[in-house]
Copies of this chain bind each other. A is one copy, B any other.
Amino acid sequence: MKPKLTLKKIAKELEVSISTVSKALRDSPEIGEETREKIKAFAKHYNYKPNNIALSLKNRKTKTIGIIIPEIVHHFFTTVISGVEKVANEMGYNVLVCLSDNSFDKEVLNMEMLANGSTDGFILSLAKETMQKGDYHHLVEAINQGMPLVLFDRVVEDISCDKVIIDDVTGGKKATQHLIDIGCKKIALISTVDYVSVGKLRTKGYKEALEENGIPFDEDLVLRIEKMEDSESEIEQFLMDKAIDGVFGVNEHFAISAIKTIKDQGKKVPEDVSVIGFTDGELSKRFIPSLTTISQHGMRIGEESARLLIEKLERTPSEEEYYKTIIVETGLVIRKSTKSKK
């Protein structure tokens, strides 16, 4: 085990000064051709690589960005990471991944860990607990310390920073419109309680689509689920003997539970009832019938977030502050859980 080669060792070996070595390796014209070549040859031969930590300390940049997500065992987040990684790598950045586990405390802890020099900036999706609590002091602090921050997906209005979100209203509208387009008249909505912003917005899209098509909104066709754990049984009860021909579930989970229930009742999907979901995962793709869904393009969200962050990191500090919010379009992925157009 050879201890890593440093400038100092090269200098000693070649009997020149450290500065000469540094300059030679960076092709400075200050150094005579002969010496330069000698040093470069030596460095190459012994595979010298500058120490990142020293560079970070010197330059006051780490060239790594931190991403904090509520959970990783979740297809959406994993695609986001993938997107972040991709553009980060292209730009010469590393990615530090932290998990908040949806806990406020872990989120704060993670930010503190990373804020002390480990990263140049953050990409973050808020923990559920944080949103409930409404305590965002850690975000404000980070920003005040000059740490750029990009919020994605689960964002909060009153923090001024870059944001990347999807248009949930339009997404909900798209979903509902598709059901209408294929001839559904009585469309049930399985959503979350309103304080989960995502559910609220998608519900709004649902209403808008109905209205635009002159279909009256019927509260009886809407189920708002509070706890994920109870969702299956609640959906079962809700759907029991309901005269409907379409269901819009605001996530994969709800949509699939709906399909199960409908099948259990002896009805057919999509012949009798069409079902559409939100979020596109492996499950949607391979379920039987495969699920028509609104896709969130997690990859693009990740890419845009990383781009936004790096842009902030690399701009000269003189430029004035400005914050963008990028809205990533949702897509309609038509599969087998909805009828074809009549």
Binding site for B on A (CB under 8 A): 1-4, 49-54, 56-57, 62, 64, 72-75, 78-79, 81-82, 85, 94-99, 112-118, 144-146, 256, 260, 263, 281-283, 286-288
Report the minimal beta-carbon distance from A243 to chain B, rounded to whole angstroms.
24
A337 to chain B, nearest CB (A): 12
Bound state CA distance, A2 and B115, in angstroms? 14
User: For A79, what are the chain B residues with a Cβ–Cβ distance below 8 Å?
Assistant: 73
Using Cβ atoms and an 8 Å threshold, which residues of chain B touch A263?
A: 288
The answer to whether A144 touches B95, judged by C-beta atoms less than 8 angstroms apart, is no
Listed A/B pairs (27) with beta-carbon separation below 8 Å = A1-B145, A2-B145, A3-B146, A49-B115, A50-B116, A51-B116, A52-B113, A52-B118, A53-B57, A64-B118, A72-B78, A74-B78, A78-B78, A82-B99, A85-B98, A94-B96, A95-B97, A96-B97, A97-B97, A256-B286, A260-B288, A281-B282, A282-B282, A282-B283, A283-B283, A287-B287, A288-B288
Check A62–B73 contact: CB distance below 8 A.
Answer: no
C-alpha spacing A113/B85, complex, angstroms: 14
Which listed residue (B56, B81, B96, B146) contacts A72, Cβ 8 A?
B81
Are the CB atoms of B117 and A54 closer together than 8 Å? yes
Closest to A51 in B: B117
Q: What separation, in Å, do the CA atoms of A26 and B13 have in the docked complex?
A: 39
CB distance from A61 to the nearest CB of B (A): 10
- Find chain B residues with CB under 8 A from A94 CB: 96, 98, 113-114, 118
Residues of B within 8 Å of A73, CB to CB, are 75, 78-79, 82
A1 to B145, CA, bound (A): 5
Q: Chain B residues with Cβ under 8 A from A74's Cβ?
A: 78
Known contacts A50-B116, A72-B78, A286-B287; 19 additional CB pairs below 8 A are A1-B144, A1-B146, A3-B146, A4-B145, A49-B112, A53-B118, A54-B57, A72-B81, A72-B82, A73-B82, A78-B78, A81-B97, A94-B113, A95-B96, A95-B98, A283-B283, A283-B286, A287-B288, A288-B288
CB distance from A268 to the nearest CB of B (A): 13
Shortest distance in angstroms between A280's beta carbon and chain B's nearest beta carbon? 11
Of B50, B51, B99, B281, which one neighbours A85 at CB under 8 angstroms?
A: B99
A116 and B48 alpha carbons, distance in the complex (Å): 10
Q: Which residues of B contact A56 (CB under 8 A)?
A: 53
Give chain B residues whose Cβ lies under 8 Å from the Cβ of A282.
75, 281-283
Q: How far is the CB of A96 from chain B (nearest CB, A)?
A: 5
Expressed in whole angstroms, the Cα–Cα distance for A73 and B281 within the complex equals: 10
Nearest neighbor of A112 in chain B, beta-carbon distance: B49
| Complexed CA–CA distance, A114 and B96 (Å) | 11
